[in-house]
């Protein structure tokens, strides 16, 4: 490969040379300049997931999150689409909301008392007689807002760019799996937030979690103690070198691990015999028809796949996972286990127990990944070995019916997909 210094000279403010179709350069994970550029070029432009509509049922409901590192408040102000307000007072820049979720008609900044309505407009500055009207027009000091907000199946996304691809264009093939995730609900609706949140962090780059969520190569190694634990070896077949599982590059940086070839028939056979399963099945048939119901059950919501939506959203098992980049070597992650609206209590409880077994900071699986991220970030300090290969399965993908690239579940085309989009965004 070409020496990095030569490349660097040729691409002063570009970073796309750090990624090829077969490798990623270490600076992608360790260079603060890359991180700063990601915040501007990726998080500052592309559609980023900020909330789910089920968290915003009543006018006044709000949740807070981040777009990259920028704090935002997502509010239901009574209008059709939620608003995504910048959580930054227009006076001296203090955050105006300190809660993760709640209900408020106004956000009052504690610093000098400016009070904003939940549509972002400023009521009036405090001690107003000190302001001259020629200097100060109240309407110039509304909270900042994401210029574009749109949603799909209740998933609310915001883009900080004035223009660009629509959300539907951005999601592309990922919509199929968001549909499957939601359609397992008897009503087609999921509930986010009600079940609470699992949170964890790690001293490593945010992309380590992004690429790991669709890495079918690692589970039999990192998670062996969990997968091999009295389950008759079935779980070890999911991600085996000879597994029948598939993975897909869905286009636009989105990717999928697909366990349906391994688990689909088991889900089909067992779904109706679980407690509440028969009634659930009948509700699905009523709403979706027998054919679609069978497809949904084969997938069993997100149990049949891991979906990565570029850049930082994942749907895995029952959870919505949101990855927050904090520093080049520090990342925090929110896991929102979802409830199926209208499903039997024992169905939702069983889904929660299954989630807890593997995920969260004390789960049987996720902490092993975090330990690997810590080790990777430590190893990346080595400067003389510059590149991280993504060569697995390079020559064994095939084109799917929707333009996706499909290959073996343990191959690295999901990561190649992610970094191809990454390079596109970082080039411009």
The contact set with ligand FES (CB under 6 A) reads 89, 91-92, 94, 109, 111-114
3-class DSSP state of 218: coil
- Could you give phi then psi for residue 253, rounded to 5 degrees? 90, -5
Which one among 113, 275, 289, 357 touches another protein, defined by CB under 8 A? 357
Cα separation, 363 vs 226, in Å, equals 10
Which one among 333, 380, 406, 417 touches another protein, defined by CB under 8 A? 333
Does the footprint of another protein cover residue 332 (CB under 8 A)? yes
Looking at the Cβ atoms of 59 and 113, the one nearer to ligand FES is: 113
Does the footprint of another protein cover residue 361 (CB under 8 A)? yes
C-beta neighbour count of 279 within 10 angstroms: 14
Smallest gap from residue 130 Cβ to ligand FES (A): 13
Helices (H), 224-289: 224-227, 234-238, 260-270, 277-288
CB of 416 closer than 8 Å to CB of 21: yes
CB of 91 closer than 8 Å to CB of 109: yes
Looking at the Cβ atoms of 75 and 331, the one nearer to Fe ion is: 331
Smallest gap from residue 212 Cβ to Fe ion (A): 6
For residue 334, what are its two tokens?
A: 């929110």
Looking at the Cβ atoms of 18 and 370, the one nearer to Fe ion is: 370
CB of 77 closer than 8 Å to CB of 106: no
Which one among 64, 159, 299, 348 touches another protein, defined by CB under 8 A? 348
Does the footprint of another protein cover residue 315 (CB under 8 A)? no
Smallest gap from residue 365 Cβ to Fe ion (A): 6
Looking at the Cβ atoms of 91 and 103, the one nearer to ligand FES is: 91
Cα dihedral: 340, 342, 346, 348 (round 10):
10
- The DSSP element (H or E) to which 298 belongs, if any, is helix 290-299
Does the footprint of Fe ion cover residue 191 (CB under 5 A)? no
Looking at the Cβ atoms of 164 and 365, the one nearer to another protein is: 365
CA atoms within 13 A on the CB side of 420: 16
Q: Provide CB contacts within 8 A for 6, sequence distance 6+.
A: none
Smallest gap from residue 372 Cβ to Fe ion (A): 8
Which one among 81, 105, 224, 402 touches another protein, defined by CB under 8 A? 224
CA atoms within 13 A on the CB side of 346: 8
Dihedral (CA of 371, 412, 211, 377) sign: positive
Looking at the Cβ atoms of 111 and 136, the one nearer to ligand FES is: 111
By DSSP bridging, strand 190-191 and strand 330-337 are: unpaired
By DSSP bridging, strand 70-75 and strand 61-67 are: antiparallel
Does the footprint of another protein cover residue 368 (CB under 8 A)? yes
- Contacting range for another protein; rule: CB under 8 A; set: 81-89, 143-151, 232-240, 342-350: 342-350
Does the footprint of another protein cover residue 362 (CB under 8 A)? yes
Looking at the Cβ atoms of 94 and 330, the one nearer to ligand FES is: 94
Smallest gap from residue 126 Cβ to ligand FES (A): 7
Looking at the Cβ atoms of 18 and 208, the one nearer to another protein is: 208
DSSP secondary structure code for residue 15 in this structure: -
Looking at the Cβ atoms of 91 and 392, the one nearer to ligand FES is: 91
Binding track, positions 174-213, relative to another protein; x by CB under 8 A: --------------------xxxxxxxxxx----------
Per DSSP, the chain holds a count of helices (H) and strands (E) of: 15, 22
Smallest gap from residue 91 Cβ to ligand FES (A): 3
- Could you give phi then psi for residue 126, rounded to 5 degrees? -70, 155
- Please list the helix, strand and coil fractions of the chain in percent, rounded to the nearest 5, in that order: 35, 25, 40
Smallest gap from residue 143 Cβ to ligand FES (A): 10
Please write down the long-range contacts of 381-384, taking CB distance under 8 Å and 24 or more positions apart: 381/30, 382/26, 383/26
Looking at the Cβ atoms of 106 and 199, the one nearer to another protein is: 199
Does the footprint of Fe ion cover residue 369 (CB under 5 A)? yes
Q: Which does 155 bind (CB under 5 to 8 A by kind): Fe ion, another protein, ligand FES, none?
A: none
Give the footprint of another protein on this chain (CB under 8 A): 100, 194-203, 222, 224-226, 229-230, 332-333, 337, 339, 345-346, 348-349, 352-353, 355-357, 360-362, 364, 367-368, 370-372, 374, 378
């Amino acid at each position: 490969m070409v020496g990095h210094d030569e490349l660097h000279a040729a691409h002063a403010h570009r970073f796309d040379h750090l990624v090829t179709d077969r490798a990623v350069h270490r600076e992608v994970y360790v260079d603060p300049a890359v991180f700063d550029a990601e915040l501007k070029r990726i998080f500052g432009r592309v559609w980023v997931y900020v909330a789910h509509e089920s968290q915003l049922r009543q006018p006044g409901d709000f949740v807070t999150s981040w777009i990259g590192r920028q704090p935002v408040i997502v509010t239901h102000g009574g209008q059709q689409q939620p608003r995504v307000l910048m959580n930054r007072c227009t006076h001296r820049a203090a955050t105006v909301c300190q809660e993760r979720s709640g209900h408020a008609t106004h956000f009052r900044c504690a610093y000098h008392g400016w009070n904003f309505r939940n549509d972002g407009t400023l009521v009036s500055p405090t001690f107003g007689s000190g302001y001259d009207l020629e200097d100060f027009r109240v309407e110039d000091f509304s909270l900042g807002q994401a210029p574009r907000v749109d949603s799909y199946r209740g998933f609310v996304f915001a883009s900080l760019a004035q223009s660009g691809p629509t959300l539907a264009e951005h999601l592309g093939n990922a919509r199929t799996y968001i549909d499957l995730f939601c359609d397992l609900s008897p009503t087609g609706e999921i509930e986010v937030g009600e079940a609470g949140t699992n949170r964890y962090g790690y001293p490593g780059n945010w992309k380590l979690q992004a690429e790991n969520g669709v890495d079918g190569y690692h589970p039999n190694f990192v998670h062996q103690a969990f997968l091999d634990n009295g389950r008759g070896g079935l779980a070890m077949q999911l991600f085996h070198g000879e597994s029948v599982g598939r993975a897909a590059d869905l286009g636009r940086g989105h990717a999928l691990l697909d366990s349906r070839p391994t688990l689909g028939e088991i889900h089909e056979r067992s779904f109706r015999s679980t407690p509440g399963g028969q009634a659930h099945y009948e509700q699905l048939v009523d709403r979706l028809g027998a054919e679609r119901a069978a497809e949904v059950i084969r997938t069993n919501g997100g149990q049949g796949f891991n979906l990565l939506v570029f850049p930082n959203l994942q749907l895995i098992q029952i959870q919505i996972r949101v990855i927050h980049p904090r520093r080049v070597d520090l990342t925090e992650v929110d896991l929102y286990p979802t409830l199926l609206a209208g499903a039997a209590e024992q169905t939702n409880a069983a889904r929660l127990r299954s989630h807890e077994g593997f995920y969260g900071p004390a789960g049987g699986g996720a902490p092993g990944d975090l330990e690997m991220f810590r080790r990777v970030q430590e190893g990346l300090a080595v400067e003389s070995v510059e590149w991280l290969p993504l060569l697995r399965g390079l020559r064994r993908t095939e084109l799917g019916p929707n333009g996706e690239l499909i290959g073996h579940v343990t191959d690295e085309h999901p990561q190649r997909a992610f970094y191809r989009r990454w390079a596109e965004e970082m080039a411009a």
